[in-house]
Amino acid sequence: MASILTNAAAMAALQTLRAIDRDLETTQARVSSGMRVETAADNAAYWSIATTMRSDNRALSTVQDALGLGAAKVDTAYAAMESAIEVVKEIKAKLVAAYGVTADRTKIQEEIGQLQEQLRSIAESASFSGENWLQEDISDGGAPPASLTVKKQVVASFIRNSSGTVAVTTVDYPLNGSTVLFDLSGDNLGILDKEAENGGTPLGFSVSTLDINDLASVAATLGVGKTDIDALDAMTQFVDTQLEAMTSAASSLGSIQSRIKMQEDFVAGLIDVIDKGVGRLVDADMNEESTRLKALQTQQQLGIQSLSIANTNSENILQLFRQ
């Protein structure tokens, strides 16, 4: 039935053209943004997942920075430990030199004193970003307890479990009686400070305070009948024990260095993998979208042509009245 009031063909052509225009608008947006899911309206589930993972990736980027800062702190502590080990080796050599019958122990002690000052200098200057692992100030108005442990931490990773709970993990290095070596100064606790053990050792000295000019008092501490040589033996043995402890502490720092490096590589790889995963969810396939854009543009032209043809039907009716 032909009607001049209701043009069904034109209405159908217009609906088709509107649908084509909507698809064309969507495809053009994908081509211009490069994203298949740009807003929640495009795909709520994928948009939610992508937004959460982008947030986690930003947190991991911050973890990368924290790992770099932590690595610098550990590197500083390790370099200082290496220097301190060399100084203690030299102190041990000076103690051996003091065994000689003709040795000038006063001069040797002067040299040892300079080495002890160098130890203090190393401990005090081994600071990065205001943090010193070799000599941490823990003063609180009183003597620190022997059992006190200060835990140094390096941020290692950001974790989200299956229930959505998030957490930040750390690489920990405890400073306690097992890593503290010297009695330097003040209420300090660090790899090179023995203050946390309430000062001193059973022999009454530490590496930083031993004095070979005072062998008699050390001999008296050892027991009745002990000689200066016995005191030197005790000092040398003590320094050697402390040197082993320093070597162990440096080894632990080296292990942390290695772990931080591996964690840095892992986090960098994890960030890339998450980026790829998010891309699979929301990125547009540009080959597909460009092909669809060309097809829709062609369909749009055909739709316009169809609408034009449908609109000419009314004009054809006029031709019937002219005859």
Residues above pLDDT 70, as percent of the chain? 82
Question: Has residue 176 got a pLDDT over 70?
Answer: no
Domain assignments of the chain as residue spans, ordered by start: 59-282
CA 309 – CA 323 distance, rounded (Å)? 22
Under DSSP, is residue 189 helix (H, G, I), strand (E, B) or coil?
strand
Which pLDDT value is given to residue 200? 47
CB 216 within 8 A of CB 228: yes
Q: CATH classification of 59-282 is 3.40.50.980, yes or no?
A: no
CB-based burial label for 254 (10 Å; 0-12, 13-18, 19+): middle
Q: Which of 128-137, 166-175, 239-248, 311-320 has the lowest mean pLDDT?
A: 311-320
- Three state DSSP letters for 219-271: HHHHCCCCCHHHHHHHHHHHHHHHHHHHHHHHHHHHHHHHHHHHHHHHHHHHH
| pLDDT at 29 (0 to 100) | 81
Distance CA 288, CA 29 (A): 14
Model confidence pLDDT, tens digit, residues 225-265: 788 888 888 889 888 888 888 888 889 899 999 989 998 99
On the question of pLDDT at 197 being above 50, the answer is no
Which region among 164-173, 191-200, 215-224, 288-297 has the lowest average model confidence (pLDDT)?
Answer: 191-200
Work out whether the CA dihedral 125, 129, 134, 140 comes out positive or negative: positive
Q: Which residue has the higher pLDDT, 101 or 261?
A: 261
Cβ–Cβ < 8 Å for 182, 192: yes
Q: Are 212 and 105 in contact (CB under 8 A)?
A: yes
CA distances from 204 to 174, 213, 240 (A): 26, 14, 16
pLDDT interval class at 1 (50, 70, 90): low
User: Which two structure tokens, joined as six digits, stand for 194?
Assistant: 């023995």
Between 230 and 8, the more confident residue is 230
The pLDDT, as a whole number, for residue 185 is 54
Checking if the pLDDT of 196 tops 50, the result is no
Between strands 188-189 and 166-175, the pairing is unpaired
79 CB neighbour count, 10 Å cutoff:
14
Question: How many Å apart are CA 175 and CA 71, to the nearest integer?
Answer: 17
Q: What pLDDT is stored for residue 93 in this prediction?
A: 93
Cα 26 from Cα 20, distance rounded (Å)? 10
Look over the chain and give the mean of its residue pLDDT values, rounded to a whole number.
81
Is pTM beyond 0.85? Reply is no
More confident residue, 290 or 4: 290
pLDDT over threshold 60, residue 323: no
- Specify the residue for token string 């001999």: 219
